[in-house]
Amino acid sequence: MRKIIPIRFSEKDFGAILNKYDYSLHPGDIVAGTIFHKESRGFLVDIGSHVAGYLPIDEILLNSFNKYNQYTLENFVNNTREFFILAYDKHKQQLLLSVKRLDYIRAWKRIKQLESEDIILHLPVSNVNKGGILTNLEGLQSFIPKSHLISFSYDQGFIKNNIQCKLLFSDEKTNKLILSHKLAMLSVYSNLLKIGSTVYGQITQIKKYGIFISIYGIPALLHISEIGYTHIDNINYIFQVGKKIKVKIIHIDMQQGRIYVSKREVD
């Protein structure tokens, strides 16, 4: 069997290969190049064409959670990688380049794949507000609404912890990503939470129209019409918050992460 010896290219060799080709470059193209000089607000990039490439500092980062320090920026010089061409500046005779736009395109490709696979994600909590949790998926800011969280805390100590979630809604045009913690938990307990299964849940709230209970931490609704076959004047006379009751799962809403249960025909 013939042994294959890998060929290693130096940056000089890479530049020579680029210069062999007469590129016809346009906005939207992806091109390889080497960063060779740092300026006050960006970098000059050798892309092997008859014009220089320019990478603004603002076009390096995909998200605003991190900031490059001066030392990190200096280390960018001599790096070889791919760039996205944003535009051509006729006045400066430069191609305006972006790393951020290229990473954005690739991030959305991975997100579409994750969405099709319907897998559980383990993401770090980057911030907490009254509406829910901010996190980061493939470098893009995403949001878990309070209504799709099983447990919720405004405590800043919650930040940097990982949370399990699933994609609920994604829109590349508006760069919007909505995730659900409830859907992830429904998947985790999918072998136990099935329609027709009998389970125990703890009562968390009592309303005029029914009872909210917690099943493996997931909220479920026992509507007043599913408690029995006779009319009930006051639910509070029968049930108490904190008590455990036996119920049967009659419906699972995978879009909203909700469970509906019944006490009919349950011993």
pLDDT, position 156:
53
What's the full length of the chain, in residues? 267
From the CB of residue 190, how many other CB atoms can be counted at a distance below 10 Å?
A: 11
Whether the predicted model's global pTM rises above the 0.85 cut:
no
Q: Give the pLDDT of residue 158.
A: 60
Q: How far apart are CA 211 and CA 234, in angstroms?
A: 12
Instruction: Report which of 150, 154, 117, 118 is spatially closest to residue 134, judged by C-alpha positions.
Output: 154
Paired residues of 170 in beta bridges: 177
Q: Please, is 188 exposed, middle or buried when counting C-beta atoms within 10 Å of its C-beta (0-12, 13-18, 19+)?
A: middle
Give dist(CA 42, CA 33) in Å, integer. 15
Domains of the chain: 11-98 (2.40.50.140), 104-186 (2.40.50.140), 191-262 (2.40.50.140)
pLDDT at 109: 94
Closest alpha carbon to 214 in 200, 201, 198? 201
CA distance 254 to 190: 11
| Confidence at residue 150, expressed as pLDDT on a 0 to 100 scale | 82
CA 227 to chain centre: 39
Q: Give Cα 121 to chain centroid, integer Å.
A: 8
CA distance 51 to 71: 28
Strand partners, 207: 210
The answer for residues whose C-beta is within 8 angstroms of residue 147's C-beta and 6 or more apart is: 132
Per-residue pLDDT in tens (0 to 9) along the chain, 267 residues: 444 444 444 545 544 544 444 457 788 899 999 999 888 889 999 988 777 899 998 898 876 545 555 546 667 888 899 999 999 887 877 899 999 999 999 999 999 999 899 899 999 898 888 889 999 999 899 999 988 888 665 555 566 688 999 999 999 999 999 999 988 988 888 888 889 989 999 999 999 888 999 888 888 999 988 888 777 777 888 888 999 999 999 998 877 778 999 998 787
Q: What was the pLDDT predicted at 4?
A: 41
